[in-house]
Chains A and B, each alone.
Chain A
Amino acid sequence: MKNPFEEFRSHTTRSKGKELPLDRILKAKEETLNQILKGYENLLKNEAKDLVWLMQYSTVIKAYSIAEEAIKGINYAAEDIEEFCYVLDKTDQVPYLITGPAGVYISALCNNAQEEEIVLRLQDVGIKINLLGYRLPEGKRLIIEGNVGDFTGISLEGGELIIEGSAKNYTGAGMKKGRIIVKQNVGFNTGHGMTGGEILVGGRIKGLGKVVGGKIYEKGQLVFPSDDYRPFYF
């Protein structure tokens, strides 16, 4: 049979493998993702040795500082955070998913990302991650497409957190300033212990927590502070 490639016989092959520009990009992305995963595994080793993570004020603070330490030096972008969320949900790369530390870790990633606005498209993520938006600082905007779990936006530090779906209990707990917008519904104890800022809920609020300060709106109506609602002072 006629060799239709015979002119290329003398061409010396240079590329060792199948390397395309796309491959190079994917390889770089994969390396970044591996570093992020490694940091997360370190966090789990320290904080959830027995696959149990107790949600306490001090454990969250500790987990966050470990997470911040773990991600130092990783050059990542917003889409890497999103990719990490999908890896958590879909693959067996992560030995165990505990939504608490995962949320703290994702929050640390968002708070330390270069971008001022981060969009996480989590509609297709099966799990509802807790603690997203933890300590979101001023100047940052985090938009989450999909539903989230408990303790969303707790200790918010001036950032803007937008949830396109619904959030569960303790949304905005302990927040100091900033704004949380939940397009659909929120659970019980919303705004528990918050001292400032705003929570705007487009749907229904199942129940407010012991709110200290700030404003909470339900479907455009101010529900806290209200005439028949007395702020709770610790």
Chain B
Amino acid sequence: MTLRDGYQDRVRRIYRFISENFYLNRPDLEVKGERYNSALLFGILTALYGGKELIIGEPGLGKTTSAEYISCLIYGIPLGVIWGSEVSGHPEQTEEKIVGRPDLGALNQGREVVVWSNFVQLPVKIVDEINRLPETKQSMILDGVDRGNWEYLNEMIINDEYALFATANYQDRGTNTIIAPLVDRFDVMVESRHPGPNLAFYIGRKSRFDNPLRHQEFEEKFHKLLRSQIPYREKLQRLEELSEGFRDYLKEKVGIETLSKEERFFIRKEMAQMPIDLDANAFMRMVLAELSFCHRYGQKRSVEACTEGCHYTGYLCYHVKNCASNRLPISVIGYSQALAWFLEDDEVDLEHVRTVLPFALAHRIQWRDSYISKKEGEGRNDPLQIYLAKEATEEIFHRYTEQRDYLLDALAIASRAFEGEAVEPLEGDHPIYEEIKKEIASLR
């Protein structure tokens, strides 16, 4: 059960503050009667939960900006430091600029000492235009993106607290494809959209020089500390002390109370303890079944195409090429818990999962060409990938509502079978029932 300890209120004030002052955009997402901007809401959830978010959109529509303000306010780091820690994607990017480099002075004296980049050292990271990194260089940041483990020479930094934002432009001459293993490591994908002409005009009139989230003195102190060669653990402690000072400044100057490291950890703990109700649980199983099941080949594999005339052509498994990875449920459950926490709900329910799912699926599903050609001309407000994921979510949700009681029974009976009772699994016309039967068969 969520504790009403005021943190949600504080986070909501941060959301409002950013949406009214820095990232002006229209709400495009309704959750339980309240309207939010998806890029901002998921950005804040990413920073709080410690997730990885891919922000797509046209150039100049606030992809990086939204991530910068969120990082600054949730992590209490001056904007200038966030800017200085960003990695920009371009073909000439090197490991030395992203991760770390040898200390040349020490090297001359015969010692191998790594000078870690600000990007690696800070708990919140932004990779700007990630799809301008060539495919070969994307592999370089795979492990860091996934686990927050960064290696250089024989040294290693493990981020105990870690959130990542990456932005990507739509395909043009300078962009590359983001490799599948890297894409899968992002928990969610959102679009930073055009705010509409009226807000755009208002943005154009705003002063570029007076940003309250910048503080030169704090920024210099942060940079100095990050450059220093004290042990990383100690450095983190000092960073937190500096952050505390900056947070006090923010509270005084702009009236916004941000979060300390301890508070962020506490919030994450609360999120992780958020129970998941049976509907959300069963619905997720249904989704995973449709995205991993193959009647003919045992499971979905991107190298094996569906055959014509399969009984399950009406389900998503027929329209997708790849298999859902185990990161998908981690992302959906984690973000649903974060959303339920943010909305001060007692448990994760269907609405939370239904809201999060399209954003966790959009970048992960590889649709069959035939399905894309069928759907791409349809009228929509979202980019194709998010639109298709929303459609898929609603399609499965529709099936779930039709079969809810029966599916819950099937799962309950399966549970009894696992406890040793001699029961027969329920039959049904959905991949989930086949998967339940497989589980029960594995007992015998």
Contact = CB atoms under 8 A, between A and B. Distances in A.
A207 to B, nearest CB: 46
Contacts of B281: 7-8
B406 A8 contact: no
5 contacts: A4-B439, A8-B278, A8-B414, A20-B403, A20-B406
Interface stretch (B57-65, B317-325, B425-433): B425-433
B429 A13 contact: no
A55 interface: no
A18 B414 CA distance: 14
Interface in A1-40: 1, 3-9, 11-15, 18-22
A14 B403 CA distance: 12
Name the prevailing secondary structure of the B interface residues.
helix
Contacts of A18: 406, 426-428
Contacts of B403: 20-21
A62 to B, nearest CB: 46
B314 to A, nearest CB: 12
A19 B282 CA distance: 18
Name the prevailing secondary structure of the A interface residues.
loop
Contacts of B408: 8, 11, 13
Interface of B: 276, 278, 281-282, 402-403, 405-406, 408-409, 411-416, 418-419, 426-429, 436, 439, 442-443
Contacts of B443: 1
Contact of A13 (B402, B409, B427, B442): B409
Contacts of B411: 5, 8, 11
B429 A5 contact: no
B352 to A, nearest CB: 16
Contacts of B413: 13
B418 A8 contact: no
A162 to B, nearest CB: 32
A20 B419 contact: no
A8 B418 CA distance: 11
A9 B412 contact: yes
Contacts of B412: 5, 8-9, 11-13
Count chain B CB atoms within 10 A of each CB in A8, A13, A22 and give the residue with the most. A8
Interface of A: 1, 3-9, 11-15, 18-22
A98 B408 CA distance: 49
Given A5-B414, A5-B418, A18-B428, 20 more contacts: A1-B442, A1-B443, A3-B415, A3-B419, A5-B415, A5-B439, A7-B276, A7-B278, A7-B281, A7-B415, A8-B278, A11-B408, A11-B409, A14-B409, A15-B405, A15-B409, A18-B426, A20-B402, A20-B403, A21-B402
B402 A11 contact: no
Contacts of B419: 3, 9
Contacts of B406: 15, 18-20
Contacts of B415: 3, 5-9, 11
A6 B428 CA distance: 20
B52 to A, nearest CB: 26
Contacts of A19: 406
Contacts of B405: 14-15
Nearest to B430: A20
A20 B439 contact: no
A133 B427 CA distance: 42
A66 B221 CA distance: 101
A76 B412 CA distance: 38
B418 A3 contact: yes
B404 to A, nearest CB: 10
Contacts of A4: 418, 439
Which 9 pairs across A and B sit closest by C-beta, in order of nearness?
A5-B415, A3-B418, A8-B411, A11-B412, A13-B409, A5-B414, A8-B412, A9-B415, A8-B415
Nearest to A14: B405
Contacts of B418: 1, 3-6
A5 B411 CA distance: 6
